Structure 1
Amino acid sequence: MIIGEVKNVKRYFDKDEGINKAFEFLKDIDLDNLEIGKHLIDGDKVFALVQSYDTRAESECKFESHKRYIDIQVILDGIEKIEWSPIDKLNLVEDDFSKNDKAFYKENSTSSELILHSGNFVVFYPEDGHRACIQVNTPSHVKKVVLKVELNN
C-alpha cells in the first residue's frame, strides 16, 4: 500500500507503464467535469471508474481485495476513511475473483485507518485488504476515481 498526494506521484511511479498511464489520465483530464462511469485508458489493462456517493457507517462497508488489478483510489472531492489490513490477517467470506476480480473479508481488529481528503490517493496491491467509503464522523459526499491497473504477472 502507498498513500500520498497526487501532486507528488512522480516520486513513486516512474517505472511502471500502466501506473504512468493511469496518472497521465488524471493529469490530462478536466477532473472537475469528469463524468461518472467507466473511462478506458488502455482497454482492459488500464481504466478509470469515476464514482459519486455519500460515505456510510463502517458497519455497512466490507473489506475487499483484488488479484488482477492494482487499485489506485483518488479522492477528487470530499473526505472519507479507508481501512487497510494485509489479507493474511483477514478471514475470507466470499471469493469472486474469477468473475469480478474481488474477494470480500470479515472485519478484524488489526486494521489501520486512513483519512483521505481531496487530492489524496492510495494504492492497493493484491495483498492489501481495504474497506473504503467510510464516513468520518458524519456522512459526506465524495467524488472519487478508482484507477484499475492490470498487474504484469
Structure 2
Amino acid sequence: MAIFGKIEDLKPLFSKTQELESLLIGIESVFAGEALSRLQALGVGENYRVELDYGMFYIAHCYALKSEENGFFESHQDYIDFQVVVEGFEGYLIGSKDKFTLLQNYDKEKDLEVHTPKEKLNYLKLSSKEMAVLFPFDVHGVGIGYAEEVGKVVRKVIFKVPIKYIKHRL
C-alpha cells in the first residue's frame, strides 16, 4: 500500500505529529541551500548519510538507472522509506510479498530482506519533487529504467523513519 505523489500534495499527511512535522522540514530542506549543493556534488555511485531528530536519518544517492532484469528487490521491517526524487526521475517496481520469493531472510542489523519477483509487478515513475512512502509489506525495486532511460542519472534521498512514528498515523 505505498503512498506516492507530489510532496506538495502529500503535506497534509505530515501534520499529525511533531515527528512527522520534523520529517517534512527535513524533506523540504534537501531542495535548497547546502543540502542541495552537497547532493548535486555527488558522483554516480556515491552516497552519504545524514542523522536527523527522533532516530530518523536519510541517505542521499546518485546513481544510473538500470534495467528491470538488474533490479534489486527489498523490504524493511524497522523503518518506513520516504523516497524523494530530487533531480531526474526513476522507476519503481512494487508488489506485496506474495508476489515474490524470499532470497535472503531478514537481517535486523541492516533492516533488510531480499526478494526476487515471481510475477508481474506494479510500475511507478517518480520525477523531481515527488515521493514514495514504502511500508514493510511493500517489496520494492528502485532505480529502474526502460529502453533509453537506462543509464540516466537520478539524485534522490531516502528518509528512513522508525515505524513507531508512522504506524496507524498516516
How does the TM-score come out when normalised to structure 2? 0.81
Q: CA RMSD in A?
A: 1.8
Q: Where in structure 2 are the equivalents of 1:1-150 lying within 5 Å?
A: 1-29=2-30, 30=32, 31-35=35-39, 36-42=47-53, 45-137=55-147, 138=149, 139-150=151-162
**Structure-2 separation of matches of 1:107 and 1:89:** 6
Deviations 1:33-87 (A, max 9, x none): 14441111126x2111000111111111121100000001000001111011011
Deviations 1:84-103 (A, max 9, x none): 10113321110243120010
Q: Give the AA of the match of 1:4.
A: G
**Structure-1 separation of matches of 2:162 and 2:53:** 10
Structure 2 gap segments, 5+ residues each: 40-46
SS in 1 for 2:77: coil
Structure 1 gap segments, 5+ residues each: none
How does the TM-score come out when normalised to structure 1? 0.90
Q: Give the AA of the match of 1:41.
A: L
- Count the aligned residue pairs: 152
**Structure-1 separation of matches of 2:17 and 2:101:** 31
Q: Contact 1:34–1:50 (CA<8 Å) still a contact in 2? A: no
**Structure-1 separation of matches of 2:162 and 2:92:** 22
Deviation at 1:8, TM superposition (A): 1.9
Task: Write 1 or 2 for the structure with the bigger share of strand.
Answer: 1
Deviation at 1:16, TM superposition (A): 4.2
